[in-house]
Structure 1
Amino acid sequence: MQTQSYSDVMQPPPLPSHASPVPPPKEEQYIFAGEVLDDILRLVATERNFSAAAKHLLKPSYFKEDARQWTCKTLLDFQERFGMPPSSGQLETELNLQFTRGLIERHQAADVYDLIHRMYKETPKGSQEYTVEVVQKFAQHRAWEKAIYKSLPLLEAGKYEEVDRVMKEAAQVSLPIDDGVYWFFEAALERIRRRGTDDEGILAIPTGILEVDLLLRRKGVGPGEIFMWLAQKGGGKCLRGDTLISTPRGLERLDVLVPFRDKGWYSLDQSFDVYDRCGKVKPVSRVYCNGNAPTIVLQTQEGIEIEGTPEHPLLTLRNGSWEWVELAEIREGDWLAKPRSEYQQSTAKHSLPILDQSLFHWSAVPLSRVPTVLDEDLAEWLGWFIAEGYMGAPDSAPTLMSFTNKDPQVLERFKELSLSLFGIVPREQSRKGSISLNWYSRGLYAFLDSSLGMAPSLSRGKCVPELLLTSPQSVQSAFLRAFIEAEGHVQKRTRIEVSSASQELLQSIQSMLSYMGISSTLHRKMGKATNSNVQENQEYWRLNIAGRENLGIFQQKIGLLSERKQTSLDMALSKSTWDWKQDRFEGVAHIVEAIFEDRRSQDRTMGGQIPRGQGIAGRIGDGGVKRFMPAIKRNVLSRRLLEEVLDKFNDAPRHLIEKLEHLLQFSPVQVVSKSHASCITYDFEVPETHSFIANGIVSHNSLALCQVARRAVYGGYKVIYFTFEMSEDQIAAREDAGFTNTSMWDLEDEDVKRELENTFIQLQGAFPKSLAIKRYPTRMFSIDACRSCLYSLKAQGWVPDMIVLDYASIVKPRRYSERHLEIQEVVQDFRGLCVEFGAAGHTANQINRLGASQRIVTGLGAAGSWDQLADVDYAMTINMSDMDRIMKMLYLYADKIRDGLDKITLGPLPTDFERMQFVSPTNLTPSEIIAN
């Protein structure tokens, strides 16, 4: 059927000479009115496609009221500059800037803030389809008006074909909300022509692993496609066996929790629980023994020590944000996270084993009774005895035991406990101004040795019995009260100081205090022994408790026995300042500033009329504002200021309050040293957070992603690498090793560094601005943060061909729900991002417990959600046993290959872990890369 033109159906006579010329259509004002006004602006602000389609059809003058006109203009300007609508925060920032510059009046600004609130938070009055139809009809109406005005002189001149063209253009005016559809038959010839050629029209970026690329239909990953790598967790990330782990039962040694000595992973018949960094109880049913391995020792400014293998990561504060850093990469001056809050302990007291009764009577001082439970009285007696007691070595003669002190109140209390617990009445003996209580008892020695694991030792060999570390808080408090009463004193400098020759003893006490929420420091000092004739200075250790908060908790939960020391503690508490230099929280100023900005936003919404006492100054006073501003500027918050925010702004947005409630304190690293000998190390898996508390420090449990990013750069593609776990420097170090074919361990060698400088000068010339790395803190930013970054780069003329996300399960979801649904949503959002920018996508995830038990892991072993694999195009698992690691090889399992062969195993594939690459024919040397 032939289509008739406009000139075929209508050829009007020429206009009479007396006809008045038709005036041009005016730019009408206030065209949109009523409830549809806000709905139109809402679509421009929140719907990317509508905003892009309508930016040339809408004008600020079409909207009634200044607030809507300003908002429309700002939205359209933002769309024109960045290719996307702004967020509510960006819109408020622009408004605040213009208000500061005097470009908008105060009452107008208040109206705009109210409008922004309605646009982003309130439900639309009408449906989206109705709003689009209103705008579309308006656009068509305006187009016909302009077409008629253009056509009149053309009709008069007899240019009917031009009239036909103008009218057809007007008829085609619409809102191109859709990007268009694919007409199958009409595109067939072009599709068939380019299929199988180099100009197929579909960009496919190889992974750089030949065996994998051969499985892919286009020998690579195309735009909008997602490749998921599932990495099997390797061993080696372990801690020393005597490390104390925070559990609901108390503090337990790692080598007790993991009762294995042969290297490998073990599944437990009965799981145990630990506390993660958020203070939540998490079950552990799979543990790892790493065998003998070299270790690194870290010591913080507070004296906390942690020893583990170089690969073991710790939660660290760098540049104001949290990141997991391996021990080998931690340097002096880095800040390690430590738990802020006390933990809930078990209330069950330990029963003691029943011993052979004959042992208790073969003694100069026979025992008439022995405790059967480790309760508060026995714990207090142990505190006194470990601090000031002596236990001789067993021999044929009765074993000498003694307790020495000069405080009558303390001596009387020790005698009372000895009588009630064991039926012992020791003999008193004066000794150099002190009183010594002596007795000979082989039976008491047998009880302490067999029931509590205490052995004869000098002061340097003393330690806290392990049963005490897992006892209820009341029992631990009784022990600490007696020990600190005997070995400590309250200084005039408003602090409690405890000294001992045993570092291990005070380290355990420091951990017990931390478990109760009391911060302390432990430092080495030199001095002369008070109970020896040795004149030379010897090594001692000093534990300090300071700060009103810590002293207050100590007084409440532990306290001191003697009236003299308790009075001194009261005086120290009254004189001490609230803040202590160790009680500070780093890198949290942005959270407090967000809470303050929420309060300012409410004030702006109310036109500056927020009720008295509800603003920032109303909540914390003018003096409080002055105290907070320097702290925010330094990005350091004291405990008191933190508590004040939580108390005064408890009605702030819940997600901000939760961040503050789960904050960790950070302690600077003071000493980094390598252990002189290997020791047995251990590890275990903690679900979801992969973190646990070790010696009061937070511990944590990307070869393929680095490889594919590097190979894409070789091919001349542009790559952006988003990391949500490791820092930009860590990712860059791994890429340094791969690009230069250099072992990661040699990167710090001075000769190697000089060679690398020359190599990278050449690489930069060959691949300018081809690889970008962007780091976001774990679970603090969503895919939208990546989108904003990409639009900012697009405005500079840089668009990636590949997007790497390291990795999906630690990206913040748009909304919180069940964990597996959150991960699935993140993967879906990542696909949308890749489709939007026409880029290939690579991401990764860890395997779960099911996967950890498999030699070759399938998709069912994906951590968090197997459903996430339904939203990816390709899924590959990386499989490597301990023997494979030694042999430097691994296996890949193709779990999902869209339009290709899957469910097959590839390997073994040679792998160079030190250079972060698969050994593949597609690998090139630096000189070959530059030459090509």
Structure 2
Amino acid sequence: MKRVALPETAAETLFGNRDENLRFLEDNLKVRIKNDGPNLVVEGNGEGEDVVVQLFDQLGAMMKEGYAASPGDVRVAVQLLSQDPSARLRDFLMKAAIRGAKKVVVPRSLNQRAYLEEIEKNDMVFGIGPAGTGKCLSREALVLTSNGMIEIGALVSGTRTGEAVSTSLVIHGLEGPETATHVYDGGESDTLRIRTRLGYTIETTPEHPLLVLDATGQIAWRRADQLRLGDVVTLQRDQHFFGDKVGLGWTAQRHPNDRSSRPVTLETLDDDFAYILGLIVGDGCLTARNRVIVSSADPEVVAAFHGLAARLGLHVFPNFARRHDYVIASSQLYSLLEHVGLSLGTARTKRIPRALLAAPEPMVAAFLSGLFDADGTVDRRDGTITFSTVSLTLARQVQTVLLNFGIVAARAIKRGRYLGRPHISQRLTITGAEAVRFDERIGFRLERKRSRRRTARANTNVDLIPFVAPSIRAAMRSATLSHSEHKLFSDYRWARRRPSHEKLGRLVALLYDRGAHVSTLEPLQDLLDHKLLFLEVEHIKHSRAHVFDLTVPGTHSFVANGFVNHNTYLAVAQAVSSLLAKSVARIVLARPAVEAGEKLGFLPGDLQDKVDPYLRPLYDSLYDLLDYDRVSRLLERNAIEVAPIAFMRGRTLNDAFVIIDEAQNTTTEQMKMVLTRIGFGSKVVITGDITQIDLPTGRTSGLVEAIAVLSGVKGISFVYFDEKDVVRHRLVAAVVKAYDAYGAANAPSK
């Protein structure tokens, strides 16, 4: 038994809401804690007692000196002191931040802090870390995979209930691409259909945990059957993870008795054809056999349809019975469109063609441009973008694909009348900052719609973060703000308004600049780091459905938040900070494009266009730390360069901060080439996970060999991350552990 003196003031802050931190200490350190006047009495195992005593002693001393502690400090301190009983919380909590232009980045473990210290001290640092976790999805969920967007139920066929099928499909987790190992057929099950604000839906089993944001501003797990109307659930967004299939290999063969039809040949998908497919899905139909019909009064749409015919050596005929109908009569083209996945049925059966779901990002963007040119509108008053369709499947798919681009669209039912009869359609609405992102990442091609967007006024943001007022007030108490700066926080500190992600990022950056303690900013920064969309539950309905699990090595869990800060992100943050401080003249970010292999030659565009999709995680880190326009300017003047490792051959990199990501997939030759390119005044950080090597069988990883060859060389530092550095929300470890135990007990026989 040990006693520890409580801080004279604000001890309740450390206890947490309803003493939840004391319960956390008891559960995790296997101790009992009792309040005895000005002291705490701690009983339990010796190590646990020591951690509690150290925690309150160190935090109490810091609070006496004016440190504004937060409840989150207790959980961070437990992790630090459990790893290293001699850890100085003062050094970690008060001196560990990296300042970017948009946000503050805080390391979340001793290893992460040591990593940054080694980068400061050494010119060459290797950061070697563990793999992330995967996620479990239900049948209706659209999974982002290396083969494109696929319904999880379509990943297997002919399976029996309880059967697990092996797979090597690469899926997108929160930390990027990961390889799944099994798809599990759960058979028919009771489910809950959950619909949120903005019309996003998910169908899941009642016991399935979903990530929520509670009324205290904390991220927590909650079973689907424990959700109530008004609860705030989270969705992933802005993954930019698309397929890479462009080959069609289509050469139609004429029937021997067919002397009239012209053969149609199209080897690969391209932007122009993807755009035309969007126009046809929006304004066309294939309901008449061997007839491709587009109905439009827009000259630009009609011209594009004529362009398709000319490209394929076909002809367009007007339909005199319907004024604005234009027809291409071709069994060859009709079969081609059927081959790529266009619906042959009525408007209610329309969907995104299979070939587009498997296509690279630029072609998906071109398809959406065509679709919105056909069925999208721009409001004359404020530039709001809407898209209407009678197909529920198409509306849901478009909403999900837009989310992959980082664009939030609200989906709702539009009721009206058509030809004197009641008419129901689905309508997607894109406003404010989301519409600006649509302009930047997809855009209209029709001039009249583009012109309306150019004159558009700002609109209300839909991507808002609730329940942050208490955290904002806590952070403000430790900052020195002017009267005018206080006004910037007025509406948000008292919850009169909810900040957008961009607004909250700027408020956090200002608080950091004005001396707010890093620990008080941590809850706000966590919400920004997760890149989640927060939406209130509006409807819950009981149902039944065929359900599936998708698993990755080491977990059977549904995990919606992985690393808060991983080693590559920390390195990029340090590089940006160095560039802003003018410690280096430029940043060079590189990674191997091993996923592309020989397929690069078949992709459209110049070499940079071909490799950019494989470098997307590095771009995402930059855009998270700097404004989009600023990144663009720095890229234009080569102050930031993002490139595959092959681009570095024959160069010498002076006065640069160089980061090599995914280094486990470099070859020995590539690693040696990179390390010998470093010039005067430069730093190089090499990050990778030696358990996730994707090189062909028989090839040695350059990272593995570098560890063996360079360990012990003066001036080169190696930092090894382990599972303790996979810093998740406090409940995630418990959820993962529970699912691991459940999966082990209920794993299907193989």
Provide the TM-score with structure 2 as the length reference: 0.57
Counterpart amino acid of residue 151 in structure 2: R
| Residue 338 (str. 1) matches residue 235 (str. 2) | yes
Superposed CA offset, 1:376-428 (max 9, x none): 1221111000111121354xxxx2321111111221122113322x3222112
* Secondary structure of residue in 1 paired with 2:272: helix
Change (3 A) 1:844 1:567: closer
Give the corresponding residue for 2:209. 313
Does 2:613 align with 1:644? Answer: no
How far apart are the structure 2 equivalents of 1:406 and 1:524? 26
Match of 1:576 in 2: 458
Contact 2:149 2:243 in 1 (8 A): no
Equivalent residue of 2:143, what SS?
A: strand
| Aligned-partner Cα distance in 2 for 1:50–1:594 | 29
Name the aligned partner's letter for residue 537 of structure 2. V
Q: Which residue of structure 2 aligns with residue 558 of structure 1?
A: 442
The 8 Å contact of residues 356 and 363 in structure 2, kept in 1 or not, is answered as yes
Deviation of the 1:243 alpha carbon? 2.0
Match of 2:292 in 1: 401
1:121 aligns with 2:90: yes
Partners of 1:360 and 1:649 lie apart in 2 by 76
How far apart are 1:312 and its partner, in Å? Answer: 2.3
Secondary structure of the structure 2 residue equivalent to 1:371: strand
Matches within 5 A, 1:414-425: 414-420=305-311, 422-425=312-315
Q: Answer whether contact 2:410 2:428 (CA < 8 A) is retained.
A: yes
Whole-Å Cα distance in 1 between the matches of residues 466 and 142 of structure 2? Answer: 25
Question: 2:255 aligned with 1:297, yes or no?
Answer: no
Number of residue pairs the alignment of both structures matches? 482
Structure 1 position 371 matched with structure 2 position 266:
yes
Q: Which amino acid aligns with 1:121?
A: R
Cα gap change, 1:417 to 1:597, in 2 (>3 Å): farther
Q: Distance in 2 between matches of 1:590 and 1:689?
A: 35
How far apart are 1:545 and its partner, in Å?
0.3
Seen in structure 2, the aligned counterparts of structure 1 residues 590 and 691 have a Cα distance that, compared at 3 Å, is: farther
Letter in 2 for 1:639: H
Go from structure 1 to structure 2 and tell me whether the alpha carbon gap of 1:686 and 1:324 turns closer, same or farther (over 3 Å shift).
Answer: farther
> How far apart are residue 260 of structure 1 and its match?
5.3
Query: In structure 1, what residue type is equivalent to 2:266?
Result: P
Counterpart residue type for residue 638 of structure 1: S
Rg larger in 1 or in 2?
Answer: 1
The answer to whether structure 1 residue 845 and structure 2 residue 737 are counterparts is: yes
Once the two structures are TM-superposed, the CA of residue 456 in structure 1 deviates from its matched residue by 1.6
SS in structure 2 of the partner of residue 241 of structure 1: coil
Paired with 2:232 and 2:417, the residues of 1 have a C-alpha distance of 34
User: Is residue 360–residue 444 contact of structure 1 (8 Å, CA) maintained in 2?
Assistant: no
- Whole-Å Cα distance in 1 between the matches of residues 39 and 3 of structure 2? 16
User: CA, structure 1 residues 631+416, in 2 after alignment: closer, same or farther (shift >3 Å)?
Assistant: same
What is the correspondence of 1:790-809 to structure 2 with a 5 Å cutoff?
none
Q: Distance in 1 between matches of 2:269 and 2:224?
A: 38
1:854-888 superposed Cα distances (whole Å, 9 cap, x missing partner): xxx6xxxxxxxxxxxxxxxxxxxxx34679xxxxx
Please state how far the C-alpha of 1:238 moved relative to its aligned partner. 7.4
1: CA distance between counterparts of 2:60 and 2:178?
Answer: 39
State the 1:463 CA deviation.
0.7
Name the CA distance, whole Å, in 2 between partners of 1:270 and 1:97: 50
CA drift of 1:596 comes to 4.4
Counterpart residue number, 1:670? 538
Shift of 1:240: 4.7
Note the C-alpha offset of 1:551. Answer: 1.5
Would you say the 8 A contact 1:381–1:418 is kept in 2? no
CA–CA distance in structure 2, aligned partners of residues 360 and 385 of structure 1 = 30
2:281 matched to 1:323? no
Q: Is the contact made by 1:363 and 1:441 (CA closer than 8 Å) also made in structure 2?
A: no
The structure-2 alpha-carbon separation of the partners of 1:368 and 1:673, relative to structure 1 and needing over 3 Å to count, comes to same
Asked if 1:255 corresponds to 2:147, the answer is no
Q: Distance in 2 between matches of 1:843 and 1:413?
A: 53
The 1:528–1:90 alpha-carbon spacing in structure 2 relative to 1, beyond 3 Å, is farther
Q: Could you tell me the percent identity over the aligned residues?
A: 23
Write out per-residue CA displacement over residues 809-829 of structure 1, whole angstroms, 9 at most, x where no aligned residue. xxxxxxx974445699x99xx
Kindly provide the amino acid, as one letter, of the partner of residue 466 in structure 2: E
Measured against aligned partners, the alpha-carbon deviations of 1:179-203 in whole angstroms (never above 9, x if no partner) come to: xxxxxxxxxxxxxxxxxxxxxxxxx
Contact 1:314/1:698, CA 8 A, preserved across alignment = no
- Which residue in 2 is equivalent to 1:535? 420
- 1:246 partnered with 2:144: yes
**Alpha-carbon distance between aligned partners in 2 of 1:401 and 1:360, rounded to the nearest angstrom:** 23
Q: Which residue of 2 aligns with 1:685?
A: 551
1:683 positional shift: 1.0
- Secondary structure of 2:445's counterpart equals coil
Residue 267 of structure 2 aligns to a residue whose secondary structure is: coil
Q: 1:271 to 1:502 in 2, by over 3 A?
A: closer
Aligned residues of 1:391 and 1:401 also touching (Cα < 8 A): yes
Match of 1:413 in 2: 304
Q: Distance in 2 between matches of 1:415 and 1:473?
A: 26
Please give the per-residue CA displacement for 1:562-610, whole angstroms capped at 9, x wherever unaligned: 22111111112xx113x41x21112445655565456x3xxxxxxxxxx
Residue aligned with 1:576, SS = coil
Within the candidate set 375, 379, 394, 1:487 is matched to 375
Per-residue displacement from partner, 1:732-767 (whole Å, max 9, x unpaired)?
xxxxxxxxxxxxxxxxxxxxxxxxxxxxxxxxxxxx
Kindly state the Cα deviation for residue 466 of structure 1 after the two structures are TM-superposed. 2.4
Partners in 2 of 1:679 and 1:371 — Cα distance? 39
Residue 683 of structure 1 aligns to which amino acid in structure 2? D
Match of 2:317 among 418, 427, 430: 427
What is the correspondence of 1:72-221 to structure 2 with a 5 Å cutoff?
A: 80-83=38-41, 86=56, 89-90=59-60, 121=90
Change (3 A) 1:640 1:880: closer
Structure 2 residue 341 is matched with structure 1 residue 453 = yes
Quote the offset at 1:354 in angstroms: 3.7
Give the 3-state SS of the residue equivalent to 2:549 in structure 1. Answer: strand
Residues 249 and 596 of structure 1: is their aligned pair in 2 closer, same or farther, counting only changes over 3 Å?
Answer: farther
2:172 is the alignment partner of 1:288: no
Q: Secondary structure at the match of 2:184?
A: strand
For structure 1, the 5+ residue unaligned runs are 1-47, 53-76, 99-117, 124-236, 601-614, 700-815, 831-841, 858-878, 884-932
Using CA pairs below 8 Å that are at least 6 residues apart, which structure has the higher relative contact order?
2
Q: 1:843 to 1:623 in 2, by over 3 A?
A: closer
Question: Which whole-Å CA distance do the structure 2 matches of 1:82 and 1:334 have between them?
Answer: 36
Distance 1:430 1:329 in 2: 59
Please name the residue that 1:526 is paired with: 415
Cα distance between partner residues in 2 of 1:541 and 1:623: 45
Q: 1:466 aligns with which of 326, 333, 354?
A: 354
Tell me, yes or no, if the aligned pair for 1:51 and 1:79 is still in contact at 8 Å. Answer: no
Deviation at 1:265, TM superposition (A): 4.7
State the distance in 1 between where 2:310 and 2:421 align: 39
**Residue 352 (1) aligns with residue 234 (2):** no
Give the direction of change, closer, same or farther, for the CA distance of 1:385–1:311 in structure 2 (3 Å limit): same
Measured at CA, do residues 244 and 820 of structure 1 come closer, stay the same or move farther in structure 2, by a change above 3 Å?
A: same
CA-CA distance at 1:346 after TM superposition? 4.7
Instruction: Describe the SS at the equivalent of 2:295.
Output: strand
TM-score by length of 1: 0.46
Residue equivalent to 2:31: none
What SS does the aligned partner of 1:263 have? coil
Q: 1:818 to 1:404 in 2, by over 3 A?
A: same
The amino acid that maps onto 1:528 is R
Q: Please state whether the residue corresponding to 1:323 is helix, strand or coil.
A: strand
Equivalent AA in structure 1 for residue 449 of structure 2: K
Whether 2:385 is the aligned partner of 1:517: answer no
Provide Cα deviations, 1:628-674, integer angstroms capped at 9, x if missing partner. Answer: 24313329432331231365467784993465222422111112112
Q: CA RMSD in A?
A: 4.2
Distance 1:78 1:576 in 2: 57
